[in-house]
């Protein structure tokens, strides 16, 4: 994505477009993701829960926390309150068992010092 952004002319407003070159709508982006998800055998029937485009925000926030950013930094970056960031990250950590323990420990430490 960084390469696409860097190579996009500065006066161009749209980066992600539909097949006609118009603005990519949220509906079409979600539909495209659903198609790729199903093709990769990651449908709700295959994995037991539904993956949606909006899940990428929670995944990104969780990865930022694991990379060492504070909840305040993540909240600022995502445009969220610190409390909302903590809730989103906690939700997505439960969905991703590989990250659950480390993320929940970090959230508990933060809550003790903040809330």
Could you tell me the two tokens for 25?
A: 């709508």
Q: Are residues 75 and 33 in the same domain?
A: no
Q: Are residues 78 and 99 in the same domain?
A: yes
Any idea which residue has 């118009």 for tokens?
Answer: 22
Domains: count for the chain: 2
115 residues of the chain, pLDDT tens digit each:
788 888 888 888 778 788 888 888 888 888 888 898 889 988 888 888 787 888 888 888 888 888 888 889 999 999 999 999 988 888 877 666 666 677 777 777 777 776 5
C-alpha 41/C-alpha 96 separation (Å) is: 17
C-alpha 65/C-alpha 85 separation (Å) is: 10
Structural domain that includes position 43: 2-47
Strand partners, 17: 23
From residue 34, give the alpha-carbon distance in Å to each of 15, 26, 53, 94.
Answer: 21, 12, 8, 22
């Amino acid at each position: 994505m960084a390469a696409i952004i860097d190579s996009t002319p500065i006066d161009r407003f749209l980066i992600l477009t539909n097949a006609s070159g118009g603005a990519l709508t949220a509906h079409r982006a979600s539909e495209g993701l659903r198609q790729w998800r199903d093709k990769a055998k990651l449908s709700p029937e295959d994995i037991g829960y539904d993956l949606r485009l909006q899940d990428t925000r929670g995944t990104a926030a969780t990865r930022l926390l694991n990379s060492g950013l504070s909840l305040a930094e993540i909240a600022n970056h995502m445009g969220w309150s610190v409390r909302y960031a903590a809730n989103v990250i906690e939700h997505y950590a439960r969905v991703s068992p590989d990250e659950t323990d480390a993320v929940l420990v970090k959230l508990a430490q933060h809550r003790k010092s903040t809330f």
